[in-house]
Structure 1
Amino acid sequence: MKHIDSKTLKRHLAQFTLPHAVANTDEWNGYNQIERKRVTVNHGEHEWARDDDGDGIREVHINTTEGMWTGTRNFLRPFRGVNKDHLSGYVAMCEHSINLKSITPEFIAALVSCT
């Protein structure tokens, strides 16, 4: 996304997430306008994760998102920089590898048939 504000974020959420999905965010004010259930951590108050339901697991955090971007940086590092015109393609390749839970025979067959 080239420009990030509440309006852009709302459009993006509507396009790429299910209406009942819960948004895990930090305290950035731009998130206040999203029209869905939201749980937050307040990094400004040194809160990084929280156990809201008392089961001992800190389910409120944004580490998944932060970890995804760390993985993306690690994926791009061997290229020693990429042309910004092609960055979205590299990020899409990384996203695909994150979304691909297992390499199945069907996946290999589809991959081979593309060549």
Structure 2
Amino acid sequence: MLGMIARGGQCSLKLCSNVRQTTFQPWITKVIQQGSTVNTYEYSIYTRLPAWGYVHVTVNHSEGEYARDADGHGVNEVHVNTMEGLWSLLRSSLRPYRGISQRFLPLCIGFSRAMHNIRQCGHSLLGPLLSLLLTSAP
């Protein structure tokens, strides 16, 4: 599974059969505007981001680096914590089921994406959720 999230913005999640650059490149070029800065941890799938037209900055988890203040202004601009938090919420939502069928996994991922992107809960969620369902209907 691949995921991207804009700082303070929308997320995009993709269930894929493998995690390779050939799978990753078409998706990232569709989702992220070239020239954007992409924060990742150090994993080989991301090494070609600069060649594809992105500014690529990393944190090195294997050396205990999880966030970095790149400009010295006291704010950790370089991190992947937002995406890791989203993965944590997705895993937590599936935990009560003790696993889920591959058949239903895309629906669960889509629901998690929609809930993050709508950013509302309780009764205030009903209107946006109905609007999303009605515009997605065939």
Partner Cα distance (2:20, 2:129) in 1:
40
Q: How many residues align?
A: 114
| Structure ranking higher in strand proportion | 2
How many angstroms apart in 1 are the aligned matches of 2:107 and 2:130?
A: 22
- After superposition, where does 1:5-44 map in structure 2 within 5 Å? 5-34=20-49, 35=52, 36-44=54-62
Identity of aligned residues (%): 31
Q: 1:95 to 1:45 in 2, by over 3 A?
A: same
Q: With CA pairs under 8 Å and 6+ residues apart, which has the higher RCO, 1 or 2? A: 2
Which is further off, 10-19 or 84-93? 10-19
Aligned-pair CA distance for 1:84: 0.9
Aligned residue type for 1:51: D
Structure 1 pair 56–79 and aligned structure 2 pair: CA distance change class (3 A): same
CA shift, 1:105, in A, is 7.6
- C-alpha separation between the residues in 2 aligned to 1:88 and 1:19? 27
Cα separation, partners in 2 of 1:108 and 1:95, compared to 1, 3 Å? closer
Structure 2 gaps of 5+ residues are 1-15
For the pair 1:45 / 2:63, whether they are aligned, the reply is yes
| Secondary structure at the counterpart of residue 40 of structure 1 | strand
- Range with bigger deviation, 12-21 or 59-68: 12-21
TM-score, normalised with respect to structure 2: 0.72
Aligned counterparts of 2:127 and 2:38: Cα–Cα separation in 1: 33
Corresponding position of 1:58: 76
Larger relative helix fraction: 1
**Structure 1, unaligned runs of 5 or more:** none
Could you say what the CA RMSD is over the residues aligned between the two structures, in angstroms?
Answer: 2.3
